[in-house]
Chain A
Amino acid sequence: MLGVYEVIGGIAVISGIGVIMSKKGVESVVYMIISFVNIGIWLMRIGVEYVGWIIMLVYIGAIAVLFMFVVMMLEIKEEERGKEYKGIMILIGIGVSVVIGGRRWLEEGVKEWIESKEKIGNVMVISKVMYGEKMIGIMECGMMLMLAMIAVIMMVEGEERKKEDVREQELRRWEEVIRRKE
């Protein structure tokens, strides 16, 4: 009998594979949204509700919308991928996820976290960790976000458009500008 964990996790993995295997860009984005939804539900199921909701808000509400925007506006054509690489890429992906998922050191921190979460709630635990012992991570995130803002402005900045000053335009008299041919 499959539990909720297995079904949700399975759907997330399958839709993750669907992201890379589908030929159309829009289908990839839809699979990505399904994957994020399932990951958010999974995180809520294990008790990390705040991170689950934030994943839904930020990833689905903003990042997936941005992906969809790019795919639709840029007219990305269907790709003809080389079939010989598909199997190898799937194997590499499974291998990496097994190596990362099987690491024992992740469990120790998680147990302590789960025990304290029951008493004070998961948002309080997150704030104590984020703004306590791991504050350097917050500073690094702030620097990265600032870098992202500056990079976007630098990339998007194009030629400066000529802007008319409205007051000057209204005060200008046509006799000063146009000379009649006599």
Chain B
Amino acid sequence: MREYEILMIVGVVSMLVVEIVWEIWERVSKEKKDREKESAYECGFNPFMEERSGYEIRYYRVGIMYIIMDVEISYMYPWSIGMGEIGKEGMIGGIIFMIILGIGYIYEWKKGGIEWE
């Protein structure tokens, strides 16, 4: 636990710095909100509708794929560390795990899930 004391100090100090800067900003800044200032600019006319654009599903797909690969890495790290202790069965189990996920990757590749366009 002692080795994490420094991390805790760093975390607390960084939060303090952020808090101090925020408080200074709140006290010093002059903000005069206006209806015109807050609304979207549409060449001088009043905004017809909200300015949100269409939803791009590609970003969500990339996020999901990243999560799956992250979880896979988190399983593979103890496997690699304990390779000497887990024996042949453990090694084969890890390889089977990777093969199962590899089938998923091949499906994704063939279906064009990795393509951006």
Interface residues of A (CB under 8 A from B): 44-45, 50, 54, 57-58, 61-63, 65-66, 69-70, 73-75, 120, 123-124, 126-128, 130-132, 135, 138-139, 141-143, 145-146, 148-150, 152-153, 156-158, 161, 163
Contact = CB atoms under 8 A, between A and B. Distances in A.
Q: Is the interface of A mostly helix, strand, loop or mixed?
A: helix
A123 B52 contact: no
Contacts of B94: 131, 138
| Ranked 10 nearest A-B pairs via Cβ | A127-B82, A131-B90, A127-B78, A146-B104, A149-B104, A142-B100, A131-B86, A62-B67, A142-B97, A135-B93
Q: Is the interface of B mostly helix, strand, loop or mixed?
A: helix
A123 B78 contact: yes
B82 A58 contact: no
Interface residues of B, number: 45
Contacts of B71: 58, 141, 145
A70 B96 CA distance: 34
Interface stretch (B24-32, B35-43, B105-113): B105-113
Given A142-B96, A142-B100, 10 more contacts: A50-B78, A58-B74, A131-B78, A138-B93, A141-B97, A142-B97, A149-B107, A152-B113, A153-B108, A156-B60
